A = this chain, B = another copy of it.
Amino acid sequence: MLRLRNRRERRETGLFLVEGFREIRRALDAGVGIEEMWFCPELYLGTSEGEIVDRSAVAGAETIQASDAPFRRMAYRDRPEGLLAVCRQFDTSLGHISLGEPALVLVVESIEKPGNLGTMIRAAGAAGADAVVVADPTTDVFNPNVVRSSLGTCFLVPIAVAATDDAIGWLTSKGLRICVATPEADTNHWEAPMREPTALVVGSEQYGLSPAFIHATDIAVRIPMPGGVIDSLNAATSAAILLFEAVRQRLL
């Protein structure tokens, strides 16, 4: 099971790890398939962990009790909560995404840090986005740190993984306006109309967006930084600022 921390192992087995009470509960809520449910009652923090184990058994998981020391070796957290699931990877094709009216999609391109990706998924969920599209992925969306930093919201917010060209083709076919964030833009982010169907596109802090996305842009916006001392915002922070500007405009 420890081998599932490795990306290649995840790809070859089609499995991934989910650790923690809230995360596994969300996986169950979302109908994610669970193969194995490892549990260690000595480490439980609350009183509802047993229900999670029972629910996973009902969902078809093999349930395996471990004692403190071996569980700690399996867990990837410093303070394990006594629940660790081996889950089946789910569909992350563009085809399974359905859009609301008006659509709101967060597109992230070439994001390297799993923690950043998870934080963006969490923000997209809070903002009520229809989906997160991970274009040209350098990070595996089934990385344990994506699950962790999203608090398991990666099971509730629809996620698609696609090459950049495929992502652009899909966004265009769905009639979404492509709004990219780049420090070079002249338009402040709140000046972009976001009440119509919109894809908000954020690239990596280090390399920015690909030429393909720059070319496909309908409107480019910058997040003005009066502080001036800073090279850039964290990519996850930029994504959240744009998402909640869309929330503001849509609730006004």
Contacts and interface: CB of A to CB of B under 8 A. Distances in A.
Given A237-B236, A240-B237, A241-B241, A226 B128 contact: yes
A227 B188 contact: no
A2 interface: no
Interface in A114-164: 115, 119, 122-129, 151, 153, 156-157
B127 A227 contact: yes
A231 to B, nearest CB: 8
Interface string A213-252: 0000000000111111111111011001100110110110
A229 B153 contact: yes
Given A129-B227, A153-B229, A251-B226, A122 B234 contact: yes
A190 interface: yes
A128 B228 contact: yes
A249 to B, nearest CB: 10
B251 A224 contact: yes
Contacts of A226: 127-128, 247, 250-251
Contacts of A232: 126
The list of the 5 closest CB pairs from A to B, nearest first, reads A128-B226, A128-B227, A126-B225, A126-B230, A237-B240
15 contacts: A115-B115, A122-B234, A123-B233, A124-B227, A127-B226, A151-B230, A151-B231, A153-B230, A224-B251, A225-B247, A226-B247, A233-B240, A236-B237, A237-B237, A240-B241
Contacts of A157: 227, 229
Nearest to A251: B224
Contact of A122 (B151, B230, B241, B250): B230
A234 B123 CA distance: 8
A232 B115 CA distance: 17
Nearest to A26: B229
A234 B119 contact: yes
Contacts of A237: 119, 122-123, 236-237, 240
A226 B125 CA distance: 8
Residue with the greatest number of chain B CB neighbours at <10 A, chosen from A151, A223, A234 = A234
A229 B151 CA distance: 11
Given A126-B227, A128-B228, 15 more contacts: A122-B237, A123-B234, A125-B227, A126-B223, A126-B225, A126-B230, A127-B226, A128-B225, A153-B229, A156-B230, A224-B247, A224-B251, A233-B240, A240-B240, A241-B241
